[in-house]
A = this chain, B = another copy of it.
Amino acid sequence: MALEHAILVSLEERAGSGYELARRFDRSIGFFWAASHQQIYRTLKRMVERGWVTVEDVAQEGRPDKKVYRATDGGRAELTRWIAEPTEPATMRSELAVKIRGASLGDTDAVIDEIARHRAHHAERLDVYRVIEKRDFPDPASLRGQRLHQYLVLRGGIRAEQGQLDWCDELLDALNSDRDS
């Protein structure tokens, strides 16, 4: 399970509340490991029980009190242990692939529409990543350590989205030609 470890990475970089973590996940880490706030709260609770993080109640003015979480030495040890432990590469799961395989039995036009939807989604995502790349990493060759690692993960996102986009284009080309012929 990587959610706990993704949270540990985030808390290592900076302590924060469940709410703050949820927003960070919406923006950066979450691009590569999505998590809802419910999931994060539940996981944080479990991590406190395991001694990987500590909680501190922080009273706030003008807004509800919050609980700030910090990684412990135990949490850091767990993260190091997990990083060194080999994990199986995730098997590719594509609903779109299943739909394409089923296209001959159903409505090919519906499948084409669905592919177009996915294409738009990936194009949008790619655009977001490209903006981040240009804004935050204008000189990749000079990057070292943590900043380099952030950049490399972003590169993975860019490659994945570009790959999906190219596949969608190949699909649309081929299916449209097949329909028209």
B-binding residues in A (CB < 8 A) = 2, 5-6, 8-9, 12, 29, 31-34, 76, 79-80, 82-84, 86-87, 89-107, 110-111, 114, 117-118, 121-122, 143-146, 148-150, 152-153, 155-157, 159-160, 162-164, 166-167, 170-171, 174-175, 178, 181
Known contacts A32-B92, A83-B99, A152-B171; 15 further A-B pairs (Cβ under 8 A) = A5-B99, A12-B102, A29-B98, A32-B93, A33-B94, A79-B105, A83-B110, A87-B114, A89-B122, A96-B156, A97-B157, A148-B175, A156-B171, A159-B167, A162-B163
Task: A87 to B90: give the CA distance in the assembly, Å.
Answer: 21
